[in-house]
Structure 1
Amino acid sequence: MRLASIRTEAGPALGVGSRAGDTVVRVDVIDPDAPTDILELLALPPDRLRRLSDRADELAGRGGPGVLSVDEAPLSPPVPRPSKVVCLALNYRAHAEEGGFTPPERPVLFLKGPHTLTGHGADIVVPPLSRRIDHEGELAVVIGRRCKDFDGEDWQGAVAGYTMMNDLTARDLQLADIAAQHPWDLSKNFDGFGPVGPWLVTPDEVPDPQALDLEVRVDGLLRQRGSTAQMIFGVRELLVRLSAVMTLEPGDLIATGTPDGIGEVPDGSVVEVRIGDLGVLRNRVTHTPILERKQNQ
């Protein structure tokens, strides 16, 4: 099942994706009594969820009110308000080596604030502080139930679903902070530097999260290509290791790291992240002109 969050004039609404993944149908059009929270919706009985999915497929073929193209719908992140966004650095051996780092023996973490999250199709506006923005396509795991000191048993049951993230990075600021031996959180935490979506895809459609192809394209040109099989720490191990030091709450996001091939996103370019059959996450990145900053001072 594919679920999305849609912005409307009346507030957020949920959508169910067609099986083809090109159309989203508002849940309140299908079932007005359905929950408006995505995690509450996923807690409904399986037969009711199945009816929602089947009805969405029917309506997607006919069109009408509440039926939108996924590329035209005003989408928010599938889970818009996680308590935390936990990101993995150097979780692909080749990516660690391309940066001159030794592949780690334990997960290397950093956090992105929820303010960085934005949806599929949103424009990312970079402030004048940075002139070098890099793409980093990643598989993201959405936590489905509270995990503390998790032993890894039935780990699939702890996952609400999977989505995609582009972990945008102000590389010029990051490298300067690394050289100065300063923390480099700033480079990861500009507004909108965590595009996510378009879908939350439920685990029944992703039987093995360690067997997904990953591609990133910039203006149609292939930049990154890898497989989640190349992760140093897979999803199950991450749930165990992370829950040993922090409580994972429902709706939390774990961005599992990026393969090699990271690179610059030129001003005005469109970045596309594709992972397995999860869909395509697409966003344009534009730079605020330095001149504009001077005029506003």
Structure 2
Amino acid sequence: MSEYKLGTGLVDGKPTPLVLIAGKAYPLSDILADEAPESLEDVFAHWAETDALLTERAGAVSGDGLDPSTISFLTPLSNPRKVICIGTNYKDHLAEMKVGTPPEFPYAFMRPQTCLAAHGQEVPLPSGAKMNDWEAELGIVIGRKFGPGDQGDPLDAVAGYTVINDVSARDWIASRPFVGIDWIMQKSWDKFQPTGPWITPARFVTDPENLAIQLTVNGTVKQKSNTGQMIFGIAAILKHLSGMMTLEPGDIIATGTPAGVGFGRQPQEFLAAGDRVRVTIEGLGTLENQFV
């Protein structure tokens, strides 16, 4: 069985689903020919069938493939139905944010698709926010419908995992009004969720709750932890969300960030124009973006 990852990039100027095999990237059509879906949205809409075909044929790929460093990446999924984020979900992050009582259930919010940004893409810092912060996160990609009343194993609904930087404008924590945090103002700026460049199928991730996760700003390590620090694991997150809504193929779920965010530092640190942020998760790859 040949391991592979999935992404999307420009090939001859056209958005193209890509398969990463042994360090080289191939258009999906090179492997699946006429059976190749036109986008990763289509791949995950028929995940079981497409995964089986890729597993069968990835080992027989021929040709030189593309050097990933030469690819202009797009977000792996350009238009997921839902982008869901889990907050305050790492024990070490709760400590640095001075949250004394752990949450009773996964604390969630939603983002618009316009928050997505690709690996290598510049991320504009909004003029209306000054306390822009980084958050390294493990991302889940859903591979089948999983909703209220589903008694199956939640992990069977996971198609794969990816790398996320959940950027936050902390201004609306620092000056929180009586009615609470404005999550739109904090989280919904354009390109505030760089994601990718690859999605690693779940079958190739032995234990997603035991992965090293690290973030650097201009080469300096700011976050260094392990997904084992999560308060709510992947199954618990999916059970909670699916009790309210039907999760659908291609949905993206960010699972929370560990300690080391700028807001929790003394003195506090925030992103500035020109900063380069790299997020690396063990076995999944590295996501890098420059803020402008």
Unaligned stretches of 5+ residues in structure 2: 263-269
Within the candidate set 284, 290, 296, 2:290 is matched to: 284
Alignment of 1:136-215 (within 5 A): 136-149=135-148, 153-177=152-176, 181-215=180-214
Cα distance between partner residues in 1 of 2:115 and 2:246: 21
TM-score (norm 1): 0.86
User: Helix, strand or coil for the counterpart of 2:86?
Assistant: strand
Following TM superposition, by how much is the alpha carbon of 1:94 offset from its aligned partner in structure 2, in angstroms? 1.8
Following TM superposition, by how much is the alpha carbon of 1:54 offset from its aligned partner in structure 2, in angstroms? 2.5
Following TM superposition, by how much is the alpha carbon of 1:208 offset from its aligned partner in structure 2, in angstroms? 1.3
- The percentage of counterpart residues that share the same residue type is 35
The residue aligned with 1:130 is 129
Within the candidate set 36, 39, 42, 1:37 is matched to: 39
Following TM superposition, by how much is the alpha carbon of 1:55 offset from its aligned partner in structure 2, in angstroms? 4.4
Cα distance between partner residues in 1 of 2:50 and 2:182: 45
Q: 1:6 corresponds to which letter in structure 2? A: G
The residue aligned with 1:6 is 9
Cα shift readout 1:119-172 (whole Å, capped 9, x = no counterpart) = 111110112112221110000000111111265643332111100110001122
Q: 1:282 corresponds to which letter in structure 2? A: E
Cα distance between partner residues in 1 of 2:105 and 2:153: 22
CA distance 1:37–1:153, shift in 2 (3 Å): same
The residue aligned with 1:26 is 27
Cα RMSD after superposing both structures: 2.1
Cα distance between partner residues in 1 of 2:254 and 2:54: 26
TM-score (norm 2): 0.87
Q: 2:159 corresponds to which letter in structure 1? A: A
Following TM superposition, by how much is the alpha carbon of 1:110 offset from its aligned partner in structure 2, in angstroms? 1.2
CA distance 1:45–1:256, shift in 2 (3 Å): closer
Instruction: Report if aligned partners of 1:112, 1:188 keep a CA contact under 8 Å in 2.
Output: yes
Unaligned stretches of 5+ residues in structure 1: 287-297
CA distance 1:152–1:277, shift in 2 (3 Å): farther
CA distance 1:37–1:150, shift in 2 (3 Å): farther
Instruction: Report if aligned partners of 2:32, 2:53 keep a CA contact under 8 Å in 1.
Output: no
Q: 1:38 corresponds to which letter in structure 2? A: L
